[in-house]
């Protein structure tokens, strides 16, 4: 058996997301692959002509609960927010990276990276 590591880009865009709405950006792969993912970067851009705020969370499937990385974080016009930079977040099978705009009709884009690890 060997350890397989694959780097993967995560890209996502939500335009005019209604509130309340928890958008699932990335779901860790589930069986039969049984992978673990390490989030190694995550930037969220404001795609509107006014300020936006977002909450970013990791949904832990084993606890059936979401845990915030940032809550109501403001992103100015023409700016982005680096949510994950030097820290690493581990996602196990079924865990989800979630992004929730804090007001209706907000548009945001996300670019991130992860490393998927599996046994083969």
pLDDT tens for 25-78 read 666 655 456 778 899 999 999 998 989 998 888 888 899 998 999 999 999 999
CB 60 within 8 A of CB 95: yes
pLDDT band at 117 (very low <50, low <70, confident <90, very high): confident
Does 4 have pLDDT greater than 80?
yes
Residue 75: the pLDDT is 95
**Could you give the CA distance from residue 101 to residue 115 in angstroms, rounded to a whole number?**
26
Average model confidence (pLDDT) for the chain? Answer: 83
Residue 101 banded pLDDT, cuts 50, 70, 90: confident
pLDDT for position 43 = 95
Q: What percentage of the chain carries pLDDT values higher than 70?
A: 80
pLDDT reading at 119 higher than 80? no
User: Model pTM?
Assistant: 0.83
Domains of the chain: 3-119 (2.60.120.1330)
């Amino acid at each position: 058996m060997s350890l397989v590591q694959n780097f993967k880009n995560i890209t996502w865009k939500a335009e005019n997301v209604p509130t309340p709405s928890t958008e699932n950006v990335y779901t860790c792969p589930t069986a039969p692959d049984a992978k673990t993912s390490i989030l190694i970067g995550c930037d969220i851009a404001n795609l509107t002509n006014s300020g936006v705020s977002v909450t970013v969370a990791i949904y832990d499937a084993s606890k059936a609960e979401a845990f915030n990385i940032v809550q109501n974080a403001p992103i100015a016009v023409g700016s982005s927010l680096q949510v994950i930079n030097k820290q690493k977040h581990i996602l196990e099978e079924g865990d989800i990276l979630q992004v929730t705009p804090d007001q209706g009709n907000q548009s945001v884009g996300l670019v991130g990276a992860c490393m998927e690890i599996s046994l083969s």
